[in-house]
Amino acid sequence: MSAVTLFALFGLLGLAGARVNTTASFPIGLYWQLARPARKGDLVWFCPPAESVFLTALARGYLSPGFCPVGTSALIKRVVAVDGDHVVIAQRGTTVNGVAVPYSRQRAADPAGRPLPQLHLDLVLPEGQVLLLSDHHAASFDGRYFGPVAATHLQGVVVPVWVFGREVAR
């Protein structure tokens, strides 16, 4: 009976807005989803679309299995660029409107020596597109490898409530 009660409690917390991050992209812990649209600089709960780059990431273990359309769990990322922003993604790093984004240098290979996608983009983001990166963990699988995504894949803005590790960088 206590297991059923605990399961129901976690379900209700999830419906209310509680989100648990178990990835290294941002500190592990409890986050709360806000009821407002995402803006540049926000942390967001992101469900990757069903695209080959995410399937490969799942197969290689960069992403955990879950309930998103591609079969992964949702991720926390920071919105670093929105429609109208000039984005350059290159091996040396990512810039938004000419400003370098911290921790955005592409790695050539993962820890197992497998090559990582090497995007080379120079574009103004069209309406409805966002670029998501982690400014917390330099080895995060993020937009420097999969590029901009449709804002429709954002599940909501989140804020840390109870996290382990250093504070979320801005």
- Give the tens place of pLDDT for each residue, 65-84: 999 989 999 999 999 999 99
User: What mean pLDDT, rounded, does the chain reach?
Assistant: 88
| Cα–Cα distance measured from residue 31 to residue 63, given in angstroms and rounded to the nearest whole number | 19
- Range of lowest pLDDT (15-19, 25-29, 127-131): 15-19
| Cα–Cα distance measured from residue 96 to residue 87, given in angstroms and rounded to the nearest whole number | 5
15/151: higher pLDDT: 151
Residue 139, judged by CB atoms within 10 A of its CB (0-12, 13-18, 19+), counts as: middle
pLDDT above 70 as % of the chain: 88
4/55: higher pLDDT: 55
At 55 the three-state DSSP class reads helix
Extract the tokens encoding 74.
């949702």
Residue 167 has what pLDDT? 53
12/152: higher pLDDT: 152
Cα 93 → chain centroid: 17
At 166 the three-state DSSP class reads coil
13/120: higher pLDDT: 120
| pTM of the shown model | 0.87
Residue 170 has what pLDDT? 43
Residue 2 has what pLDDT? 57
CATH number attached to the domain at 19-164? 2.10.109.10
Residue 7 has what pLDDT? 43
- Side chain identity, residue 57: A
What confidence category does residue 9 fall into, taking pLDDT thresholds of 50, 70 and 90?
very low
Contact 83, 127 (CB under 8 A): yes
